[in-house]
């Protein structure tokens, strides 16, 4: 971008500065939904105990959601979906967006591990 001409300068006499483009940085890998919720919870200063008291979801389930330890979650999509939405609501995150990001990852794990689902 050229410097702006002063009122008394002739804009046709201004030289264009060469544009220096910084090398593109690689796109950071998108943060997984579980660790994202954990980071937001910690930024808000909420403990798992406080979140458990508010949501009535056990600390074990909340911790499993954050760490994406799918084998510690119920084998029912509706429960995982509900837990994620409830967790997101307490953090004032978009419930649908979080469930839409989290549940397919859980479903893929279920498929890959041949887990029977209720």
In a domain, residue 101? The reply is yes
In a domain, residue 25? The reply is no
* Predicted pLDDT at 3: 46
Alpha carbon 15 to its chain's center: 46
* Strand (E) or helix (H) holding 24: none
Report d(CA 103, CA 107) in Å as an integer: 6
Kindly report the number of other CB atoms within 10 A of residue 66's CB atom. Answer: 21
In a domain, residue 16? The reply is no
In a domain, residue 54? The reply is yes
Domain that holds residue 49: 30-112
In a domain, residue 96? The reply is yes
Number of domains in the chain: 1
In 3-state terms the chain splits into helix, strand, coil percentages (rounded to 5) of 55, 0, 45
Helix (H, G, I), strand (E, B) or coil at 21: coil
* Predicted pLDDT at 8: 56
What's 78's domain CATH number?
Answer: 1.10.260.40
Q: pLDDT tens digits for the chain (118 residues)?
A: 444 445 555 555 544 545 544 444 434 468 899 999 999 999 999 999 999 999 999 999 999 999 999 999 998 999 999 999 999 999 999 999 999 999 999 999 999 998 887 7
* Strand (E) or helix (H) holding 18: none
* Predicted pLDDT at 20: 47
In a domain, residue 60? The reply is yes
In a domain, residue 10? The reply is no
Give the closest residue to 40 by CA, choosing from 82, 104, 79, 94. 94
């Amino acid at each position: 971008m050229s410097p702006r001409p002063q009122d008394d300068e002739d804009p046709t006499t201004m030289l264009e500065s060469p544009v220096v483009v910084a090398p593109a940085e690689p796109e950071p890998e998108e943060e997984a939904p579980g660790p994202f919720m954990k980071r937001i919870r910690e930024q808000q200063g909420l403990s798992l105990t406080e979140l458990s008291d508010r949501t009535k979801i056990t600390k074990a389930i909340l911790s499993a959601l954050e760490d994406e330890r799918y084998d510690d979650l119920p084998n029912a999509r509706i429960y995982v979906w509900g837990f994620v939405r409830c967790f997101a609501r307490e953090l004032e995150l978009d419930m649908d967006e979080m469930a839409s990001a989290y549940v397919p990852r859980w479903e893929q794990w279920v498929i890959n591990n041949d887990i029977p689902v209720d």
